[in-house]
A and B are shown apart, each in its own frame.
Chain A
Amino acid sequence: MTMQSGLATSPTQLRVYAPTADLDVASPPSREQERARAIVSPRDSRTEPGPVRFVIIALALTFLTVFVVLPLVVVFAQAFSKGISSYVAALTEPEALSAIRLTLLVAAISVGLNLVFGVIAAWAIAKFDFRGKTFLITLIDLPFSVSPVISGLVFVLLFGAQGYFGPWLQAHNIHVLFAVPGIALATVFVTFPFVARALIPLMQEQGTQEEEAAISLGASGLQTFFRVTLPNIKWGLLYGVLLCNARAMGEFGAVSVVSGHIRGETNTMPLLVEILYNEYQFVASFAIASLLAMLALITLVVKTVLERRLDEGQIPSDD
C-alpha cells in the first residue's frame, strides 16, 4: 500500500460523518439500522463465483510468499545459521556497533529536520495561496523521482574536493563528504518528501477554518499551531515520521556515494551489510540485515495502527 492511498481514505470518512451526525444524535445504530445495512451490503452484488475467488486468492498468496515472506525468512535463517552466540557476536563487533550508532544518529537527524521542514512545507502549501505553489509541490517530490545515487552525487559535486564549496571547506578544515554531515545531508534529501506528502492532503482537507476560529478567539500563532493545527494532524504526522525513519535507516544509494566506506566510522547498517556480504561473512552480514528486517516489520505494524487512526478521522470513539 502506498502512502497516498492510506491517506486518501480519511477525507471520505470525514465526509461520511457529517450528515449522519445530523440525523441521529450520537445514538448507537439501532438493530433495525444494523439489519438494513446488512441487507444492502455491497458485497452481495459483487461476489465472484467460488472457483474464481479461489484462484485469485491462491495467486495472490503464492506471489506474496515467494517475493515477500520467503526472502524475509531467508534473512533470519542465514543470520541464525551458526547459532545464537555467533549472531550476538556479529552484532557486538565494534564495526557493527559503530554502524548501528551511526544509522541511529543519521536517522535521528534526518527525521528531526524533515519533521520541521515537512510541517512548514505542508503548512505553506495547504493553508496559503501563492505563486509557484504547484512548482513547489513538484519540487517536494523530486527526491522520490531521482535515483538516490544521483542525489548522493549532487552532494559530491557541491562539497567534494573539486566541488563548488570544496576548497572553502578544506581551507576551514570542515569535513562534509566521507563524514557524518555528508551522510546526514544525503539522507535528509532522500527522505524529505515523506512528512510533507503525508500532511499536505490532510491539511488541505481540513482547511483553515479551525485556525481562523482559534485566532478570532484570541489565540496567538503559536497557540493556534500547538492547540489546534498539531492535534488535528498528529496521526498523519506520525505516519510520515515513521516512513521517513524507515527510509532514513535503510537508505543505501545516496549514502553509499557520500560515505567513503571508512570502516568503523562512516559505514551505516545497509553499507555494512553489503561489505560483510562481499567478504563472505554471511552470518555477520545477515545478522545486521535481520535488524533492518525487524525495523521493517515494526514499521509495518505501527503503520497499520496509524492508518486505522487516520481512517477514524481522528474522532475518538470512546464516550
Chain B
Amino acid sequence: MTIEVKNIVKKFGAFAALDNVDLKVGDGELLALLGPSGSGKTTLLRIIAGLDWPDAGEVSIGGEDALARGASERQVGFVFQHYALFRHMTVFENVAFGLRVQPRAIRKDEATIRARVKELLDLVQLDWLANRYPSQLSGGQRQRIALARALAIEPRILLLDEPFGALDAKVRKELRRWLRSLHSEIHVTSIFVTHDQEEALEVANRVVVMDKGRIEQIGTPGDVYDNPATAFVHGFIGESIVLPVDVSGGSVRLGGRPLNIAANGAASGASNLFVRRHDMQIGPAGSGALEGAVRHVRSFGPIQRAEVALSGGEGKTVIEIDAPRDRELRAGETVSLQPRRYRIFAAQR
C-alpha cells in the first residue's frame, strides 16, 4: 500500500511542527523518519495514522483520501513508544482486541479469532505469554505484543513511533534485526520514527531526515550518509568535523589563510567545511591543505583516533580524526591533513 503526503502543515500555537511536508512512500517500503526531538517526525506519523489532524495538506493511503476517515476507519497499525498495551487485559485479549471490536457484520467467530491470535503470538514468538498481563512482561516482550496487536487488524500500513526508544541497548539491537526480518516476511508498508541514526541506517530501506518541521533529505541509508544534502544532515548523521571557512570566488579560506581545496561551486560568503572523521587523510608535514600537531592518540580496533590541534588561525582549533593504523601516529608530531571528501555549506545565521 502506498502512502502519499502533500503540503502538510501543522501548527501548535505559533510553533510550526510541520512546515509544508511532502512525502511519498512506495508499496512494501520500510521507511525511517529520522530527526532530533521537536523535528515533527512523530507529529507526521500521528497525522498519517489519524491521531492528529493537519491544519492544511493532503494524506492518501493506497490512493484513497485518508483525511476523509477517522483513525478507527483507516486500518492503520500503530505501535506506540510506550507500548500502550491495555493493562487490564491479558496478552491474548490485547492481541484479540482489534478483532473483537469489528462491526458485527464482518466480525469473525470466536474460534477464528483464537486461531488468528495464536498465529500472531507465534509470529512474535511469545505464544507462551498468552495468559500474562502486560505488567508481567519485559519491555522487549511488551513491544513485540504491541506489534502483534497492531498486526491483528491486517493493517494496510504499519506505523511505529520510536519503537525501541524505551528499551536498553542490547534488547534494542536484537529487536532491530527482528523487525527487519519480520518486515521482509510480511512486507507491509511501514514507517518508523527514530532519533537514533544508527537505527535508521541499519533497519530502513529509505531514510527521511527531518529538522524543525521540514524534510531535509530523503534517500537510501548510503545516500544520506555519503551525500548529505544539507549542513544539518551532514552534522546529524555520522561524526563530522566542522570548520568555519570563508568562500570567495572559488577559493576557500580558514582563519584568513587559503586552503588548498576547491570550493566545488559553493556560494561566496561565510560557510562551514564538513569532513567525516575518516575522510581526513594524514600525510607528512607540508603536504596537505591543513597542518596541525597531534595531541593525543587512542588506538582501538582497525583505527586510531587522534586529537589534532590545527596550527595557524587565531585560537587553537582541535579536531578529532580517525586514521587507519598503517602508520602509527605519535603525540607531539606535526602532520598535514588533506580532506579526501568534503562538503561546504553556507553558514546558518
Q: Which A residues form the contact surface with B (CB < 8 A)?
A: 17-18, 21-23, 25-26, 209-210, 212-220, 223, 227-228, 231-232, 313-316, 319
The answer on a CB contact under 8 Å between A231 and B88 is yes
**Looking across the interface, which residue of chain A has its beta carbon closest to that of B132?**
A26
The answer on a CB contact under 8 Å between B135 and A22 is no
Q: Which of B69-77, B229-237, B324-332, B334-342 contacts A (4 or more CB under 8 A)?
A: B69-77
Q: A315-B135, A319-B131 known; A214 and B101 CB under 8 Å?
A: yes
**Looking across the interface, which residue of chain B has its beta carbon closest to that of A206?**
B87
User: When the two chains form the complex, which single residue of A25, A26, A210, A216 contacts B51, counting CB atoms closer than 8 Å?
Assistant: A216
The answer on a CB contact under 8 Å between B98 and A217 is yes
The answer on a CB contact under 8 Å between A227 and B97 is yes
**Looking across the interface, which residue of chain A has its beta carbon closest to that of B167?**
A22
Q: Beyond the given A210-B84, A212-B80, A213-B85, please list 19 additional residue pairs across the A-B interface where CB-CB is below 8 A.
A: A21-B137, A21-B138, A21-B139, A26-B137, A210-B85, A210-B86, A212-B51, A213-B78, A213-B149, A214-B86, A214-B97, A215-B72, A216-B72, A217-B98, A217-B150, A218-B153, A219-B72, A228-B86, A231-B88
User: Hey, which chain A residues are within 8 Å of B78, CB to CB?
Assistant: 212-213, 216
Q: How far is the CA of A220 from the CA of B107 in the complex (A)?
A: 14
The answer on a CB contact under 8 Å between B141 and A25 is yes
User: Hey, which chain A residues are within 8 Å of B141, CB to CB?
Assistant: 25
Q: Which B residues form the contact surface with A (CB < 8 A)?
A: 49-51, 70-78, 80, 82, 84-88, 97-98, 101-102, 131-133, 135-139, 141, 146, 149-150, 152-153, 168
User: Hey, which chain A residues are within 8 Å of B88, CB to CB?
Assistant: 231-232, 314, 316
The answer on a CB contact under 8 Å between A26 and B150 is no
Q: How far is the CA of A220 from the CA of B139 in the complex (A)?
A: 28
Q: How far is the CA of A316 from the CA of B135 in the complex (A)?
A: 9
The answer on a CB contact under 8 Å between B75 and A315 is no
A205 CB, nearest partner CB in chain B, Å: 12
User: Hey, which chain A residues are within 8 Å of B98, CB to CB?
Assistant: 217-219
User: Hey, which chain B residues are within 8 Å of A223, CB to CB?
Assistant: 101
Q: How far is the CA of A231 from the CA of B89 in the complex (A)?
A: 9
User: Hey, which chain A residues are within 8 Å of B72, CB to CB?
Assistant: 215-220
User: Hey, which chain A residues are within 8 Å of B152, CB to CB?
Assistant: 217
A-B contact pairs, 6 of them (CB 8 A): A210-B84, A216-B49, A216-B150, A217-B152, A219-B72, A231-B88
Q: How far is the CA of A219 from the CA of B168 in the complex (A)?
A: 32
Which among B73, B76, B101, B141 has the highest number of chain A CB atoms within 10 Å? B101
User: Hey, which chain B residues are within 8 Å of A23, CB to CB?
Assistant: 138
User: Hey, which chain B residues are within 8 Å of A227, CB to CB?
Assistant: 97, 101
Which among B87, B150, B152, B168 has the highest number of chain A CB atoms within 10 Å? B87
Q: How far is the CA of A192 from the CA of B88 in the complex (A)?
A: 28
The answer on a CB contact under 8 Å between B132 and A209 is no
User: Hey, which chain B residues are within 8 Å of A210, CB to CB?
Assistant: 84-87
User: Hey, which chain B residues are within 8 Å of A219, CB to CB?
Assistant: 72, 97-98, 101
Q: A21-B138, A218-B101 known; A213 and B86 CB under 8 Å?
A: yes
Q: How far is the CA of A223 from the CA of B98 in the complex (A)?
A: 11
The answer on a CB contact under 8 Å between A217 and B153 is yes
**Looking across the interface, which residue of chain B has its beta carbon closest to that of A17?**
B135
Q: How far is the CA of A219 from the CA of B102 in the complex (A)?
A: 7
The answer on a CB contact under 8 Å between B131 and A216 is no
User: When the two chains form the complex, which single residue of A17, A25, A214, A215 contacts B138, counting CB atoms closer than 8 Å?
Assistant: A25
Q: A25-B137, A25-B138 known; A212 and B101 CB under 8 Å?
A: no
User: Hey, which chain A residues are within 8 Å of B84, CB to CB?
Assistant: 209-210, 212-213
Q: How far is the CA of A294 from the CA of B320 in the complex (A)?
A: 78
A214 CB, nearest partner CB in chain B, Å: 7
User: Hey, which chain A residues are within 8 Å of B149, CB to CB?
Assistant: 213, 217
User: Hey, which chain A residues are within 8 Å of B82, CB to CB?
Assistant: 209
The answer on a CB contact under 8 Å between B136 and A209 is no
The answer on a CB contact under 8 Å between A213 and B80 is yes
Q: A210-B84, A213-B86 known; A22 and B97 CB under 8 Å?
A: no
**Looking across the interface, which residue of chain B has its beta carbon closest to that of A211?**
B84
Closest A-B pairs by Cβ, 10 of them: A26-B136, A217-B98, A209-B84, A216-B78, A219-B101, A213-B84, A231-B88, A315-B135, A215-B72, A22-B139
Which among A209, A218, A232 has the highest number of chain B CB atoms within 10 Å? A218
B39 CB, nearest partner CB in chain A, Å: 21
Q: How far is the CA of A133 from the CA of B14 in the complex (A)?
A: 20
User: Hey, which chain B residues are within 8 Å of A213, CB to CB?
Assistant: 78, 80, 84-86, 146, 149
The answer on a CB contact under 8 Å between A218 and B77 is no
The answer on a CB contact under 8 Å between A315 and B51 is no
Q: A218-B98, A223-B101 known; A232 and B87 CB under 8 Å?
A: yes
The answer on a CB contact under 8 Å between A25 and B87 is no
Q: How far is the CA of A218 from the CA of B131 in the complex (A)?
A: 23
A103 CB, nearest partner CB in chain B, Å: 35
Which among A22, A216, A227, A228 has the highest number of chain B CB atoms within 10 Å? A216
The answer on a CB contact under 8 Å between B135 and A21 is yes
Q: How far is the CA of A61 from the CA of B82 in the complex (A)?
A: 46
**Looking across the interface, which residue of chain A has its beta carbon closest to that of B100?**
A227
Which among B88, B98, B141 has the highest number of chain A CB atoms within 10 Å? B88
User: Hey, which chain A residues are within 8 Å of B73, CB to CB?
Assistant: 218
Q: How far is the CA of A314 from the CA of B89 in the complex (A)?
A: 11
**Looking across the interface, which residue of chain B has its beta carbon closest to that of A25?**
B138
Q: How far is the CA of A215 from the CA of B84 in the complex (A)?
A: 12
The answer on a CB contact under 8 Å between A216 and B133 is no
User: Hey, which chain A residues are within 8 Å of B135, CB to CB?
Assistant: 17-18, 21, 313, 315
**Looking across the interface, which residue of chain A has its beta carbon closest to that of B46?**
A212
